[in-house]
Amino acid sequence: MNALGKHLLLELKDCDRGLLNDIGFLKKALLSAAVEAGATVLGESFHQFSPQGVSGVVVVSESHLCIHTWPEHGYAAADIFTCGDSVQPEKAAEFLVRELSARSHSAVTMRRGVLDAEGSSG
């Protein structure tokens, strides 16, 4: 069975708390992660929360990367969703783990749009 896309759900724990609240750093990190994975960046949107935390998304031709941070807990949740076979979402995940100095992390991979032999999802 083939799938239309791959969706990585990334848990980043015990991260550098300062980086988790730095919108400029996070924007650069997510954009770089997309490039590292081989994706084609189309746009981005980020928001700084008060008193702390950042949410952001990078839209790519192949789908998206997004992150939500809780600096007070040293925690970030990231989603990396890619379609097709040309992008390697695992490379983006590895990049984010390194850049955020996550001392602990885990990832779950979901195959999205699983197709049967005839090419339908039903």
> Which residue type sits at 103?
R
Catalytic residues: 63, 68, 83
CA pseudo-torsion sign 10, 62, 84, 36 = negative
Domains and CATH numbers, the chain: 2-109 (3.60.90.10)
- pLDDT tens per residue across span 23-35: 999 999 999 999 9
pLDDT at 3: 87
Query: Which residues in the chain land under pLDDT 70?
Result: 1, 117-122
pLDDT at 101: 97
Q: Which DSSP string do the residues of 57-95 spell out, in sequence order?
A: EEEETTEEEEEEEEGGGTEEEEEEEEESSS--HHHHHHH
pLDDT at 121: 60
| Closest to 45 in 3D by CA, of 23, 77, 62, 22 | 23
pLDDT at 120: 63
pLDDT at 38: 96
Sheet bearing 75-83, strands edge to edge: 41-48, 54-60, 63-70, 75-83, 2-13, 104-115
